[in-house]
Amino acid sequence: MKVALVTGAAKGIGRAITQAFADDGWKVVAVDREAGTLEELAQRHGDSLVVIADDISGRAANQRVVASALEHFGRLDAAVGNAGINLEKSIDETTEEEIDGLIAVNIKALIYLAQAVHGPLAETAGSFTVVASKTGLVAQLGTPVYNATKGAAVQLARGLALDWARENVRVNALCPGIVDTPMLDRFIDSAPDPKQARREFAQQQPLGRLASPEECASVALFLSSPAASFVTGVALPVDGGFTAQ
């Protein structure tokens, strides 16, 4: 039996990751502050999927969630820190509250999750994957604070990969390009012409289309699997060629 924990599991990329692990026969602990929509997935997968409603920005929540995963399944083989928020705002307009919010969810929550999963993953020679972004590798116009948080997520993964290597715990960053999720919809809906904005986002990527959440999920599953047993410290773009330009 293999057990995975996924944060931000109710929607978008996290939901697809949860589904991919469950379809691959893993037991999954799916965490989201809006866990209601996961109930239907939980029903489909029966005892294999446990849903936890929690906001993972604080240290205690991450400890609580991992303790609960261990209580349910007795072990942890993979953790995916996927929960994240974005903000399209110039540095001048960004409020203190927004800066704190982005740092809390996109950086601190990953650090707290790392602290909580380190021991359990060392016991199983497991893996930790953070969902960063291509904006952690190259900057995107108009989202300076988001870019900064994703750069931090990439460097957290690289640092932990080194620190945990001799314990045989692998750590990687998955760096999506533009993915068709509710996060993107919110971004697009605020544009003057949402249809045109969607087309332009698709055209920004060399493959000429948006990524599906499932195309990110299959890479998260790969990074967590024995097929990636010598892959650690990698920031892997899933961006349709964007960072190759």
Ligand X SMILES: NC(=O)c1ccc[n+]([C@@H]2O[C@H](COP(=O)([O-])OP(=O)(O)OC[C@H]3O[C@@H](n4cnc5c(N)ncnc54)[C@H](O)[C@@H]3O)[C@@H](O)[C@H]2O)c1
Contacts with ligand X by CB under 6 A lie at: 8, 10-14, 32-34, 55-57, 82-86, 105, 131, 133, 176, 178-179, 181-184
- Residue placing its CB nearer to ligand X in the complex, 111 or 167: 111
- Residue placing its CB nearer to ligand X in the complex, 77 or 239: 239
Return the CA Rg of the chain.
Answer: 17
Asked if 136 contacts 94 with a C-beta cutoff of 8 angstroms, the reply is no
Q: What's the closest the beta carbon of residue 156 comes to ligand X, in angstroms?
A: 13
Q: What's the closest the beta carbon of residue 180 comes to ligand X, in angstroms?
A: 7
- Residue placing its CB nearer to ligand X in the complex, 36 or 74: 36
- Chain center to CA of 107: 11
- Residue placing its CB nearer to ligand X in the complex, 86 or 129: 86
Q: What's the closest the beta carbon of residue 123 comes to ligand X, in angstroms?
A: 25
Q: What's the closest the beta carbon of residue 26 comes to ligand X, in angstroms?
A: 19
Establish whether 146 is a catalytic residue.
Answer: yes
Residues 36 and 185: their CA atoms lie apart, in Å, by 20
Asked if 130 contacts 81 with a C-beta cutoff of 8 angstroms, the reply is yes
- Residue placing its CB nearer to ligand X in the complex, 11 or 59: 11
- Choosing from 128, 146, 187, 201, the catalytic residue is 146
Asked if 170 contacts 231 with a C-beta cutoff of 8 angstroms, the reply is yes
Q: List, by residue number, the catalytic residues.
A: 146
